[in-house]
A and B are shown apart, each in its own frame.
Chain A
Amino acid sequence: DIVMTQSPDSLAVSLGERATINCRSGQSVLYSSSNQNYLAWYQQKPGQPPKLLISWASTREPGVPDRFSGSGSGTDFTLTISSLQAEDVALYFCQQYYSSPITFGQGTRLEIK
């Protein structure tokens, strides 16, 4: 199984400041023949289902604000929120869909400082 480890577990950032969440996979999730990373980021607000923000490590979903960006390749990935807004308070999860079983990181709780 591919273990996904996020850091930090929780994060407090001031409004308008940058928030950075890291995710490391236990093995590479880069599919060499397509040069695609099988890595997604999800946002979950209280009482709501997860929402897909970023797929293929860096492709923003339609409707997701451009302050959200994903980067990284292989085993190390980052979700960056360039200017934190109040509505960004949530849990964030990374996920690998490279192989079965599909696995998620433990989650990072993002709060306002």
Chain B
Amino acid sequence: EAQLEESGGGLVQPGRSLRLSCAASGFTFENYAMHWVRQAPGKGLEWVSGISWNSNDIGYADSVKGRFTISRDNAKNSLYLQMNSLRAEDTALYYCAKGGTPYYSPMAVWGQGTTVTVSS
């Protein structure tokens, strides 16, 4: 059974950095695109970033472009999100999601999420 487990969330001051991790298991990680999706408290879903299986295709939401960096380590079955210059509006539950082999595919598996709170 495919599973994703996020970690690295927490309380951080505005302007500081945080690195999220997502550990994958139960599927051949290196074959699939992966994504980060966030959900602010009581709000809808916002796609943050995605990365293709070989890291050749990477995309970001305009709201995080230039501040966040997505990466993956296929040898470690892990996905990462480096978040710099954090703002209050980045406060959300961050989900890791498994895409498909083509970069543009639905997200069939989701983790439980890790909470990021940006506040002084």
One of B37, B45, B59 near A107 (C-beta < 8 A):
B45
- Report if A93-B45 is in contact (Cβ < 8 Å); known contacts: A49-B113, A101-B59, A101-B60: yes
Interface SS of A by simple majority: loop
One of B35, B59, B105, B110 near A51 (C-beta < 8 A):
B110
| B residues apposed to A, CB below 8 Å | 35, 37, 44-47, 50, 59-62, 95, 99, 104-108, 110-113
One of B44, B60, B104 near A104 (C-beta < 8 A):
B44
Q: Which residue of A lies closest to B49 (CB)?
A: A101
| A residues apposed to B, CB below 8 Å | 1, 38, 40, 42, 44, 49-52, 55-56, 61, 91, 93, 95, 97-107
* Whole-angstrom distance between the Cβ of A23 and the nearest chain B Cβ: 13
- Of residues A40, A50, A105, A106, which shows the largest number of chain B Cβ atoms within 10 Å of its Cβ? A50
- Of residues A1, A49, A101, which shows the largest number of chain B Cβ atoms within 10 Å of its Cβ? A49
- Report if A1-B62 is in contact (Cβ < 8 Å); known contacts: A101-B47, A103-B47, A107-B45: yes
One of A49, A95, A101, A107 near B62 (C-beta < 8 A):
A101
- Chain B residues near A51 (CB-CB < 8 A): 110
